[in-house]
Amino acid sequence: MMEVTNKILKDIYKERGPDVKKYDFGLLLVIGGSEFYSGSPAFTAFAAFRAGVDMVRVIAPKRAADIIASFSPNLAAYPLKGERLNKEHLPILLSMAESAKAVSRGNMAIVIGGGTGRSEETQETILEFLNKVSIPTVVDADAIHAVAKNSNVFKGKPFIFTPHGYEFFVLTGKEVIGKPDEEKEKLVKEEAERLGTTILLKGHTDFISNGKEIASNKTGSVYMTKGGTGDTLAGIAGAFMARGLDPFSAGQAAAFINGKAGEIAAKRKRDGLLATDLIEAIPEVFI
């Protein structure tokens, strides 16, 4: 098993030539939020921007989208009718995914699941959307619950799952909480192979596997227990996939940067660390 180091960043953050243009470094579509959760998609979007993606479009139910748009002029948020994702939104989601793919010349990815909630119709909408797309996608949070019982939706697609310990159990039926790292390593690789996808298990040590290879990441801080630090990881991974990295490489790089930014922020804030502090520290990892 390999351990992720800052060497992985050298292949991502290369010197830019004079002919670069918008969307060369990707467009990220963030689908999430609900009547109660508006922060999650915003954390994801801000982290993706700080990781270097050229553009982020957030799609969220109206209340969440309006709040997100008010945070910063950097954020473009499309409001969906109603309080949460539902079946009537499916044509819009599919259309906006195809539109993003066209305008970005194929340099795009999706992050889905943060803050959507787990109502039956929302879960069914996520499941149906992912069944119809083959765009590189980070499946996070509530979206993991949505697709856990139907691996045919994602098997063989360029997806990466970013579960914490309990979400890993939801996805695979295998318990990793409290297990030694050696057993976690074994289970992550076995389940990634069985499910035909890439898994990034978040924890004190992160494990990333595509079923063939496995890597560990040991950056991070004990102060990263705050809400939103998983959303930032998803955004960074999405940014890297939007600029062309495969899910396994994107997962490794995202885990390293998210953890290292958390370390930097924790030195300043300790118990007062917030996800926004981590986001602002992201450029310090690679500049």
Question: pLDDT tens-digit profile of 8-26?
Answer: 999 899 999 999 999 999 9
Determine how many CB atoms are found less than 10 A away from the CB of residue 130.
23
* Strand partners for 91: none
User: What's the distance, Cα to Cα, between the start and end of the chain in Å?
Assistant: 28
Query: What CATH code is assigned to 24-286?
Result: 3.40.1190.20
**pLDDT per residue as tens digits for the range 163-220:** 999 999 999 999 999 999 999 999 999 999 999 999 999 999 999 999 999 999 999 9
**R_g of the chain computed on alpha carbons:** 17
Q: Please name which of 207, 206, 254 lies closest in space to residue 234, comparing C-alpha atoms.
A: 254
| Contacts of 205 by beta carbon, 8 Å cutoff, 6+ apart | 181, 184, 216, 217, 218
Q: What is the pLDDT of residue 287?
A: 79
Q: Where are the alpha helices (DSSP H) in 133-274?
A: 142-147, 165-172, 181-195, 229-242, 247-269
Cα–Cα distance between 219 and 124 in angstroms, integer? 35
Secondary structure of residue 170 in the 3-state scheme? helix
- The list of the chain residues with pLDDT below 50 reads none
Please tell me whether the overall predicted TM-score, pTM, comes out greater than 0.85 for this model. yes
Could you give the CA distance from residue 77 to residue 70 in angstroms, rounded to a whole number?
A: 9
pLDDT of residue 258: 98
Q: Which of 46, 42, 93 is nearest to 68 (CA)?
A: 42
| Residue 265 contacts residue 281 (beta carbons within 8 Å) | yes
d(CA 99, CA 264): 37
Going by their DSSP bridges, the two strands 76-80 and 214-217 should be labelled as unpaired
Please give the pLDDT value at position 34. Answer: 97
